[in-house]
Structure 1
Amino acid sequence: MRPPFVITVDGPAASGKGTVAAGLAAVYGLAMLDSGLLYRAVGVLAERAGLDLDNAEAAAGIARRLRAEDLGDPAFRTRGAGEAASRVAVHPAVRLALRDLQLAFARRPEGAVLDGRDQGTVICPEAPAKLYVTAAPGVRAERRWKQLQAQGEAVGYDEILADIVKRDERDGSRADSPMRPAADAVLLDTSQMTIEQAADAARRIVEAARARWEAS
């Protein structure tokens, strides 16, 4: 029996992967999971509870109680939530606690789009379509800076760039599920692309993968 058609979209912060993933979900009529939002929720909820983000078991306790329907809080999409997410994501206990939720989403019979940093390497390595979306750090910092400005967060570009570099290092060097492209992922560098160009390139990558999947 052929497995569900799953699309994984991995990559660093502000690379455009979220926009790409949302666009693909719309094109193919698939549900989308923003796995980064899970870690943001854990970080924010841990902070609200007065917990130390470096306490792996405390953060894992929050993660074990988290449900997909709990992710609507706008606070999970702030700059602070991103930093908190990167800190709790280094804990293997937190990643393990969130794994079942992600696996269940990936096993939907109709397929799914999974957006994150380890979706194609750890959560769904058998996915028929895998993308790794990236962009130069300076480009990503400018995108995130503009996004935060639009949300009313007063922060400087240089500060955002420093955050981006720090998060790349933390996410790429953690012992459990480091951020890296899957061996069979297609690299999509959006540094010089508009949103429309990135969406079109992603769709063409997935169309090729879908043709192989349908022929299997």
Structure 2
Amino acid sequence: MSNKITIAIDGFSSTGKSTIARELAKELGYIYVDTGAMYRAVTLYVMRHLFVTESNFDEEAILRHLPFINLRFVFDEKLGYGEIYLNKENVEKEIRLMEVSNNVSKVATVSKVREMLVKQQQEMGKDKGVVMDGRDIGTVVFPDADLKLFMTASTQTRAERRFKELRERGEKVEFDEVLKNVKDRDYMDSTREDSPLIKAEDAIEIDNSNMSLQEQFDKILKLARQKINAAQRG
């Protein structure tokens, strides 16, 4: 019997989900899937086609184009994890731009977009041995995940982290703009009708407002090892 498990990490934006999930997968030798990157890549595609702008949101056009959106993760040995490709183009850097962040929650409210991506995510994790992070992994994608975590932190802390990250990448953003983006995304993610961001009943909540990355990693790795050992015994 395989002792590999499914690990679902959900939570608010800028809680460091992806960083922790990526490092955890590397440590365990598991597949890492950044579902947020998938939604961002779809958002980038529809932005390039001007289906989503500040004054326009053309859901019909988005739905028409879904068959033309091909997403896949390509493993990079130097990085130790896969980067997202949109129609054979590496868009990992472009999807992290503030402009994409401002639109991704809107695109994620489209039920057909979620339906398409959830199917792909379930296929990626069907054989277990996967660490997947996002907004609805423990509630919708893998409701039977062996380990479910829910990451949170104060709004101010998350905005400060995001601001620092964007500035280090060379983006000219103001802190107030980043803070507004974090608050807006929280609202849209939590109130959308289809698969809203909620903590699964059996998820372990981790508030990392005052935790270092190492402290978070050590705590989560310990939880994962406990579940893996239990699976091995069972």
TM range (shorter): over 0.9
Written as runs of structure 1 = structure 2, the 5 A alignment for 1:1-216 is: 5-52=5-52, 54-64=57-67, 65-69=69-73, 70-71=85-86, 72-73=90-91, 74-107=93-126, 109=127, 111-216=129-234
Alpha-carbon displacement from aligned partner over 1:48-78 (angstroms, at most 9, x marks no partner): 1121363334324444422214253111111
SS, match of residue 52 in structure 1: coil
Aligned counterparts of 1:105 and 1:57: Cα–Cα separation in 2: 28
How many pairs align?
A: 215
Aligned counterparts of 1:19 and 1:99: Cα–Cα separation in 2: 21
* Superposed displacement of residue 80, structure 1: 1.4
Alpha-carbon displacement from aligned partner over 1:73-107 (angstroms, at most 9, x marks no partner): 11111111122211100111110121211111111
- Write the letter of the residue equivalent to 1:208: Q
- Write the letter of the residue equivalent to 1:102: Q
- Write the letter of the residue equivalent to 1:204: K
Asked if the contact 2:11/2:134 (under 8 Å) is kept, the reply is yes
**More off after superposition, 155-164 vs 169-178:** 155-164
SS, match of residue 132 in structure 1: strand
Asked if the contact 1:149/1:155 (under 8 Å) is kept, the reply is yes
Asked if the contact 1:42/1:59 (under 8 Å) is kept, the reply is no
User: Which structure's residues are more often strand, by fraction?
Assistant: 2
Aligned counterparts of 1:181 and 1:10: Cα–Cα separation in 2: 8
Asked if the contact 2:52/2:103 (under 8 Å) is kept, the reply is no
Gaps in structure 1 of 5+ consecutive residues: none
Aligned counterparts of 2:183 and 2:48: Cα–Cα separation in 1: 26
Asked if the contact 2:3/2:231 (under 8 Å) is kept, the reply is no
Gaps in structure 2 of 5+ consecutive residues: 74-84
SS, match of residue 68 in structure 1: strand
Asked if the contact 1:133/1:190 (under 8 Å) is kept, the reply is yes
In structure 2, the CA distance between the partners of 1:127 and 1:31, relative to structure 1 (3 Å rule), is: same
* Percent of residue pairs bearing the same amino acid type: 33
User: What is the TM-score normalised by the length of structure 2?
Assistant: 0.86
In structure 2, the CA distance between the partners of 1:119 and 1:60, relative to structure 1 (3 Å rule), is: farther
Asked if the contact 1:42/1:62 (under 8 Å) is kept, the reply is no
- Write the letter of the residue equivalent to 1:132: F
